[in-house]
Amino acid sequence: MPFTNDPLDLDSLPALEQAPLTPVSPRLAPCQAVSLLGRWALVTLLVLFFPVQHEAAAEWQLVAATAVALVGLAAVGLGWVEARRRAYGVREHDLIYRRGLLVRRTQVLPLVRLQHVETLSNPVERAFGLVRLACFTAGGRGADLLLEGLPASRAEAVKQHLLARLEGTSPSSSEAP
Amino acid sequence: MNPPGPETADARLARWQRLSPWAVGLLLITSGLSLIRQHLPLLLGAGAGLALVERVGLRELALGGALLLLLAVLLSLLYYRRFRFRLEGEVLVIQKGLFEHREFKVSAAHVQHIAVHQPAYMRPFGVVQWQLETLAGEASRIELPGIRREIAEALGRRLRGASDAAQQAAAEDAGEADEAPRVRFAITPGALALHGLTSRSVYVVAAMLSPLVQPLERWVHDHLPHLDLRAWLPASAPLAVALGILAVVAALALLSVLAAWWRFHGYVLRDEGDRQVQVSGLFHRQEQVLTLSRLQVVEWVQTGLGRLLGRGYLVCHQFGALGGGEAAEARRFLVPGLSSAQGRELSAVLWPGLSMRQPLARVTRLYRRVLFWRLLLGLAAALLGLGALVGPASLAPMTWGLLAAGLLPLAAGLAQLRWLALGWAREGDYLRVRQGLWGQRTSLFPLRSLVSASVQQSWLQRRRGVATLRLHLANGRVTLPFLACDDAYALANRLLASVEADQAA
């Protein structure tokens, strides 16, 4: 096959910043809130009931626990707002996931790099009907892209589309959701 | 009818093969050395070994050791009996397992890296350790711990041959004659010594020896009390400290040069078309093969001393080379003892068309300001910590004032140097990114080597129209902080388009 090296028209490249993104499920916010509440409640209880030997320190235990609980509530509030702003996009050749409130991060995974796909869900996520989609590439130690907050049916559709790409079938034969 | 001749190694591979019978003893030696290497600091550190001998008794300990050795011999024999391998067409099949039987199948198409090791104690028997990595990286490493050299060579030839067949056919179609392998780089004794001095192995040596310092000190104190070491020291305390530091640095430098000789003695890099083969090692001979079509990233590494002496080394990364630190780096395909010109020349061989002459672009000046504030805050916190530790009265107010005033120019100078050190350039289809203040690491990779990309913006960055671009590559992450937002997105779009264009081709 003759080697070609044609220059790319930079103005005609698909622009990542203009890619249309779909918000994740609105149920992700309460799901995140429940998970975060559970974690922070555990930390608060630990601080409250930790056996402190020093009497002076023990007097401050309730104050410390209240402070931890307030920080936890703030984290839950921020988590709620952040979850409502998450979005994802499936393009013909890549998968995009945007997350973050103060620090916004847009991650792009070209589909040719995909090696395998997994769906995961913990009991809280199952209660809200949500699924995580983990995408792995060659040589990586963990998931290279973790798409959280997809409804189970949508996650399955995205997974099937990605698997179809992995198997080398025509992308047009499996419609991107 | 001709009598059947001796069966070739290639033909033998079609049948089940066992490890070499010598492998039993060699397995014991290899495992024993590995155990000693891993647990030596634990045994010697803080006198734990001596305490164990005193508590258990020398005779009981020897008896326990003999029993353990017997058990190890029996287990090695069982391991040898259970271990077998063969080639089924283009698939290597390995069956092994002491208590749990396992079968591995590796297709030639997925082989990324093959290495052959021959420690000194294996040489008289003509036995080698053979290792294979797939595209999944180091975690997928499969080892044949003791096979005859001709079997290892045949195995490598067959597995590589299958994946290269298409390329060879294309080369033949194009009328290209087979070129004899030629030596691309051979290290000289001077370059080897300089590599030892300027490589990071000095830190590895220091980390390995640090647990032995205390036991050595105790041993000298207990067994050589007549050596009055204090009498040897000069009367002046600063001079004694300076001499001590000098002695430690000289000892570490000597050890790292010896380590370089151990690892890279007789280093030769041969160019065999799509394959680069390197052979090195003083006692432990090691042969590594790098397939250029599997190459993802090349790093040009210069330590601080290396930059002063104009020396560095190249590290070639394939998939799965994440993390592992300096010790892991030594196991990779590393070309040592290069001058800057040789580094450029060899990079152009590995990445045709890359000249490394294009000046590097800098990120926005906002990054320098952010670095300045970060450094100033860090240094101020360190000064406050020092004040709390030694007490405000330990130094004169004037000295504290001078120290505080010195933080400003120090933070500004360091921020400026770090900003200057970070640079990037796109040369045709390649990207070059340099990072590091004192020691520098320049990643050279084709745009198509991108695994994934992310664009990150904090609220400050959004207000100022800048973004941080993180490129995930086969060997880890390369970060370009505080790029102009348009540049960051344009570069990300170009990289993503190159990945797709490469796949389509």
Closest Cβ opposite residue B453 in set A108, A112, A141: A108
Are the Cβ atoms of B451 and A137 closer than 8 angstroms?
Answer: yes
Closest by CA position to A106, among listed B304, B483, B457? B457
Scan for tokens 């209240």, then name that residue: A66
More confident residue, B233 or B3: B233
More confident residue, B261 or B100: B261
Residue B120 has a pLDDT of 80
Are the Cβ atoms of B429 and A139 closer than 8 angstroms?
Answer: no
Which stretch of B151-160, B198-207, B305-314, B415-424 has the lowest confidence by average pLDDT? B198-207
Strand partners, B147: B128
Looking at chain A, the whole-number percentage of residues with pLDDT higher than 70 is 85
CA trace torsion B17, B166, B269, B205 (10° rounding): -60
Are the Cβ atoms of B492 and A8 closer than 8 angstroms?
Answer: no
Closest-CA residue of A relative to B171 is: A1
Residue B458 has a pLDDT of 93
DSSP string, B153-204: HHHHHHHHHHHHHHHHHHHHHTTPPPPPPEEEEE--HHHHHHHHHHSTHHHH
Say if A15 is an interface residue toward chain B (CB within 8 Å).
Answer: yes
Say if A56 is an interface residue toward chain B (CB within 8 Å).
Answer: no
Residue B443 pLDDT grade (very low, low, confident, very high; cuts 50, 70, 90): very high
What's the whole-number average pLDDT of chain B?
A: 82
Tens digit of each residue's pLDDT (9 = 90 or more) over B310-338: 899 999 988 765 444 544 555 678 999 89
Tens digit of each residue's pLDDT (9 = 90 or more) over B383-395: 999 888 887 777 7
- Maximum separation of any 2 CA atoms in chain A, in Å: 82
Are the Cβ atoms of B493 and A16 closer than 8 angstroms?
Answer: yes
CA distance B84 to B17: 5
DSSP string, B109-121: GGEEEEEEEE-GG
User: Residue B202 pLDDT > 80, yes or no?
Assistant: no
Closest Cβ opposite residue B493 in set A5, A14, A141: A14
Smallest Cα distance from A166 to chain B, Å: 13
- What sign results for the dihedral spanned by CA atoms B348, B352, B358, B363? negative
Say if A45 is an interface residue toward chain B (CB within 8 Å).
Answer: no
Mean pLDDT for A51-77 is 89
Residue B240 has a pLDDT of 81
3-state helix, strand, coil in chain A (%, to 5): 45, 25, 30
CATH topology of domain B9-173: PH-domain like (2.30.29)
More confident residue, B502 or B489: B489
User: How many CA atoms lie within 13 Å of B424's alpha carbon, on the beta-carbon side?
Assistant: 20
Are the Cβ atoms of B496 and A108 closer than 8 angstroms?
Answer: yes
Contact list in B for residue A107 (CB cut-off 8 A) is: 452-454
Mean pLDDT for B282-291 is 83
In contact, A58 and A130? CB cutoff 8 Å: no
Scan for tokens 């691309």, then name that residue: B184
Tens digit of each residue's pLDDT (9 = 90 or more) over B8-37: 777 777 888 888 888 777 777 877 777 777
Residue A1 has a pLDDT of 46
Contact list in A for residue B455 (CB cut-off 8 A) is: 16, 105-106
More confident residue, B107 or A155: A155
Closest-CA residue of A relative to B134 is: A139
Closest by CA position to B292, among listed B308, B310, B270, B312? B270
B88: phi then psi, degrees, rounded to nearest 5: -110, 90
In contact, B221 and B175? CB cutoff 8 Å: no
Residue B131 has a pLDDT of 84
- B105's CB contacts (< 8 A; 6+ apart) are B91, B92, B93, B94
Residue B417 has a pLDDT of 93
CA distance B64 to B49: 15
Closest Cβ opposite residue A109 in set B322, B452, B458: B452
Closest by CA position to B47, among listed B214, B289, B295, B235? B214
Give the length of chain A.
Answer: 177
Mean pLDDT for B252-280 is 86
CA distance B335 to B186: 10
- B505's CB contacts (< 8 A; 6+ apart) are A4
User: Residue A79 pLDDT > 90, yes or no?
Assistant: yes
CA distance B46 to B50: 9
Looking at chain B, the whole-number percentage of residues with pLDDT higher than 70 is 85
Tens digit of each residue's pLDDT (9 = 90 or more) over B133-153: 776 666 667 888 888 888 888
Helix/strand/coil for B54: helix
Residue B478 has a pLDDT of 92
B61: phi then psi, degrees, rounded to nearest 5: -65, -40
Closest Cβ opposite residue B320 in set A105, A108, A139: A139
- A149's CB contacts (< 8 A; 6+ apart) are A24, A25, A27, A28, A31, A83, A86, A130
Closest-CA residue of B relative to A135 is: B452
Mean pLDDT for B294-307 is 90
Smallest Cα distance from A73 to chain B, Å: 22
User: Residue B504 pLDDT > 80, yes or no?
Assistant: no
Residue B481 has a pLDDT of 95
Whether the model clears a pTM of 0.90, i.e. scores above it, the answer is: no
Are the Cβ atoms of B322 and A141 closer than 8 angstroms?
Answer: yes
User: Residue B468 pLDDT > 90, yes or no?
Assistant: yes
User: Residue A78 pLDDT > 80, yes or no?
Assistant: yes
CA distance B365 to B372: 11
Q: From the candidates A81, A107, A135, which should be mutated to test the interface with B, based on the most B CB atoms within 10 A?
A: A107
**Is the CATH code 3.20.20.60 the one for domain B422-505?**
no
| Residue B223, amino acid | H
Residue A117 pLDDT grade (very low, low, confident, very high; cuts 50, 70, 90): confident
